[in-house]
Structure 1
Amino acid sequence: MTPAVIHAASYRLDGHDPALKKTLEAAVNNLSAIVKWSFLQTGVLFLLQLLENWLEEKEVFFASFITKAVGVAWNLVTFLMLPVIMLEHNGIIRGVERSWQLFKKSWGEQVVGTVGFDLQGLIIFIPFTIAAIMLAVTMDTLQAGIYTFLGGIGLMQVISSGLHGVWQAALYHYALSKQSPADFIENDFSTAFKSKLIRHRR
């Protein structure tokens, strides 16, 4: 879903109305690279888990923190990988290099914006959790609560995936031009970055 959203959002940011046919064609044309990227991501996560287990066996302090820090760094560096695949039609190796280049141009905006979208997903999830607990208590059955909880998780995943796709497309355009896309409020990106710098200096 995310690759299709990225392509449609990018098309809209370029001033065109996204077409379902072109979006699906773009996803199909880049399917091989998308699948390879998914396998690479899974492989990286697996290797990080192996590394964490090995460090814990060696009784290395902060083993979990070390591997999670590496994982966060990897996710940040490759955050624009899907836009690079969908919009530049790059392969995996060149795509990682290109994503790293774009990351260096927009790392501040990327971090601030990604955290913001994650918080929005959490806000969407909270009401479903409360509703699930209330249903389970008032109806004296776990089934209704479980269904509501699972429905909330599914909805959160769909909305979060869509929001991340739009954000990745917008950030990709911003990294290229250093200008806020037309459909975003002027200074949305630069203001977020400046506020981050101000907090850091304090």
Structure 2
Amino acid sequence: MTSKYRRGFDITYDSLRIFTQRPTLLILPALSLLTVGSAFAVLGAIIFQQGLVESLLTNDLYKYSVLFCAIAISSSVATFFNAAVVHCAAQLFEGNSTSVRDGLAAAWHARRQIAIWAAVAATLGTVLYILDEKFGVVGSLTRAIFDLAWALLTFFIVPVIVLDERRSLRRQLRRSGSLFRDTWGESVSATLGVSFVFLIVALPGIALGAAGYFVLDGVVAVGALVGGGGIVVAAIVGSQTASAIVRTALYRYATTGKQVGPFDTRDPDTVFPES
């Protein structure tokens, strides 16, 4: 059991090496954040222009509709750009050249599956929010349990959408869940490894922002807040990129048995053993 977690951390380390060799992949999650921010700004402007702020506070239909739109936007955009990273990572693992443009083209090719996935995620997210809001502790508990189960079931959903031949969402979810079940130890420890690394990266930014808000004054405070925020955003972007690379590495080896990318120096009998 311990060896599974250790392999996950080894995969994290090796995948971060791939990440540092192709820093241009950072462009993709950065574009994701920029696109989501712009879309939310437009959505907010429409709400204010149409005078719907009060309606959002008093009318459930308006509130839930806006919530659905917000989840659909963030889910579709994040999945699209993560799909681009996954494609690029898969190409690198195969020893092929790739580019940001190639990744975007691959994500665009899978746009229909991404749109379906975003619609399902938005629907479920809205329903769970309603349960949480309307049914008190029972609703909150139901939402927490379902959120965890959904996160595990969909751990490999982006690699499956981009790299798998399955076009049915039901089959994609089954495939993602099956892959996570087979590699749960490595997947959990690899995720923790990425989170830990980029938490360390973000800590100076958090400290700088806190100093700017609570301690410093004037222009220096503004500079500290901006600088700290920039570091935190950079850590978020890096974490998203590295996570996509790690999941692609896990997916490729689990599905093909090939020694690709971060596994090229490892004995295949020590990674995802049969017993």
TM-based fold match above 0.5: yes
For residues 72-91 of structure 1, the aligned pairs below 5 Å read 72-91=148-167
Pair 1:18 & 2:98 matched: yes
Post-superposition offset of 1:127? 0.7
For residues 49-88 of structure 1, the aligned pairs below 5 Å read 49-56=129-136, 59-60=137-138, 64-88=140-164
- State which of 135, 146, 154 in structure 1 corresponds to 2:233: 154
Post-superposition offset of 1:140? 4.4
Residue 199 of structure 1 is matched in structure 2 by none
- Preserved CA contact (<8 Å) 2:154 2:177: yes
Give me the whole-angstrom Cα distance separating, in 1, the residues matched to 2:90 and 2:129.
34
Is the alpha carbon distance of 1:182 and 1:43 closer, same or farther for their aligned partners in structure 2, counting shifts above 3 Å? same
- Preserved CA contact (<8 Å) 1:2 1:164: no
Q: CA-atom RMSD, angstroms?
A: 2.8
Post-superposition offset of 1:81? 0.7
User: Which SS does the other structure have where 1:183 is aligned?
Assistant: helix
Question: Which is further off, 144-153 or 10-19?
Answer: 144-153
Q: Deviations over 1:3-27 (max 9, x none)?
A: 1111011111122222444322211
Give the TM-score, by structure 2 length. 0.60
- Preserved CA contact (<8 Å) 2:212 2:225: no
Q: Deviations over 1:51-106 (max 9, x none)?
A: 222331xx54xx53442232111111111111011112533232112212222221
- Preserved CA contact (<8 Å) 1:76 1:103: yes
Residue 144 of structure 1 is matched in structure 2 by 223
Q: Gaps spanning 5+ residues in structure 1: where?
A: 195-202
- Preserved CA contact (<8 Å) 1:117 1:163: yes
Residue 190 of structure 2 is matched in structure 1 by 113
Is the alpha carbon distance of 1:143 and 1:187 closer, same or farther for their aligned partners in structure 2, counting shifts above 3 Å? farther
Post-superposition offset of 1:133? 2.7
- Preserved CA contact (<8 Å) 1:10 1:170: yes
- Preserved CA contact (<8 Å) 1:121 1:159: yes
Is the alpha carbon distance of 1:45 and 1:8 closer, same or farther for their aligned partners in structure 2, counting shifts above 3 Å? same
Residue 173 of structure 2 is matched in structure 1 by 96
Q: Gaps spanning 5+ residues in structure 2: where?
A: 1-80
Residue 123 of structure 2 is matched in structure 1 by 43
Give the TM-score, by structure 1 length. 0.78
Give me the whole-angstrom Cα distance separating, in 2, the residues matched to 1:154 and 1:101.
33
Aligned length: 189
Pair 1:175 & 2:243 matched: no
Question: Which is further off, 92-101 or 77-86?
Answer: 92-101
- Preserved CA contact (<8 Å) 2:206 2:229: no
User: Which SS does the other structure have where 2:183 is aligned?
Assistant: helix
